[in-house]
Amino acid sequence: MSAIGDRLAELGITLPDAPAPAANYVPFVQVGDLVHVSGQISADDNGLITGKLGADMDVEAGAAAAKRCAISLLSQAKAACGGDLGRLVRVVKLTAFVNSTGEFTEQPKVVNGASDFLVEVLGDAGRHARSAVSAASLPLGVAVEIEGIFQIR
């Protein structure tokens, strides 16, 4: 098991199988040593995590939803690495979309759920550039969707 796998085990997290695409796209594309992972929506073992920040969901619940997106992103990165997370060099960039009201302005705090998790698992290799933006709605009513760029060897 890789050091990343060991760290996930310490945290009690088992990566699920990489989610299959829900439409006409691929889950990731590799260009050179960069893997571009398609947007991962907030879902857990019980299904979709839906809601609108600033209306029926608070920042803490939104951050938990963003963390679930990050877990799916790592699952896709693992698939791109042929199952060997030891090939993962770093997280380069996250672009996050938060389903929120027009008045809600704490998108960065929501997306910290994903960023904090990646740093907790990967250390400095989890530190990344990031955008956190509001969306009037997201597919299937999910609370958060995040896409990522990863460097692999």
Q: How far apart are CA 54 and CA 69, in angstroms?
A: 19
Question: How do residues 44-75 score in pLDDT, each as one tens digit?
Answer: 999 999 999 999 999 999 999 999 999 999 99
Domains contained in the chain, CATH given: 3-10+38-152 (3.30.1330.40)
Per-residue model confidence as pLDDT tens digits over 3-29:
999 999 999 999 999 988 989 999 999
- Supply the pTM of this predicted model: 0.96
The per-residue pLDDT for 137 is 97
| Residue ranges in the chain assigned as alpha helix (H) | 3-10, 59-80, 107-122
Residue type for position 80: A
- 5, with CB counted inside 10 A (0-12, 13-18, 19+), is middle
Q: Give percent of the chain above pLDDT 90.
A: 95
- Nearest-angstrom CA–CA distance, 58 and 121: 25
